[in-house]
Structure 1
Amino acid sequence: MSKQKRSWPEGSLELAVALQRHLAIGDRDWHAFKSQRPRRGAEQLAAALVLLLRGDDPGAPQSSDARRQAIELVEHGLGWLKAELSDPGCPSHRQAPATKLAAD
């Protein structure tokens, strides 16, 4: 019997990081892509993969912090894909609540 390998395949993390960087919506593209739910979902799923590969031992029976964080990101990504989430808007573009002006 062969010994069970307790690590991710060589090069997996580097490939996942490259994919995550490629899919990430940067500041310059935010307004153009913020409402594209599949794109937002893919961004979250790729980030989850990076967390998992970077911080989890696939042979460990217990859940690690990295595994739990990856699960949260996967669930968040699924929320985008299922159209359960939508863009909350850019904080810098939200209008301040109307205030009453004091009478002089």
Structure 2
Amino acid sequence: MGIKQAEWPIEVQRQAMDLHAQLSLNDHNWHQQKGDADRRAAELLAGALVQLLQGGERSDVEALTDQSLRWLRRELKAPGCGRD
């Protein structure tokens, strides 16, 4: 069941989505920033915020938030890949 959608201004939703896009790792910066725990936590929190503002599933918001906390506590590390 999704989160009851509040009447969030569309500009707030756009700003959250823009923030998430700016924080997200991609093909160009993944190798440089994959191990930056604070960056990973921020990316996940921004994703949780987007989900919350868009009426996403409560379980998805909680999972993103929990994973962010694990990065902050340094409980997670980036997985390797064939190029590492």
TM-score, normalised to structure 1's length?
Answer: 0.69
Q: Which residue of 2 aligns with 1:61?
A: none
Q: Deviations over 1:47-103 (max 9, x none)?
A: 1111111125xxxxxxxxx2220110000011101101111212x347xxxxxxxxx
Larger Rg: 1
TM-score, normalised to structure 2's length?
Answer: 0.84
Does residue 88 in structure 1 map to residue 79 in structure 2? yes
Q: Which residue of 1 aligns with 2:3?
A: none
* In 2, Cα distance between equivalents of 1:10 and 1:55: 13
Q: 1:23-38 to 2 correspondence within 5 Å?
A: 23-38=23-38
Displacement of 1:10: 4.3
Q: Which residue of 1 aligns with 2:64?
A: 73
Identical counterparts, % of pairs: 39
Q: Which residue of 2 aligns with 1:13?
A: 13
The structure whose RCO (Cα within 8 Å, separation 6+) is larger is 2
* In 1, Cα distance between equivalents of 2:50 and 2:13: 6
Q: Which residue of 1 aligns with 2:44?
A: 44
Which consecutive segments of 4 or more residues in structure 1 shift more than 3 A?
A: none
Structure showing the higher helix proportion among its residues: 2
Instruction: Give the count of matched residue pairs.
Output: 79
Q: Which runs of 5+ in 2 are unaligned?
A: 1-5
* In 2, Cα distance between equivalents of 1:93 and 1:11: 40
Displacement of 1:9: 3.8
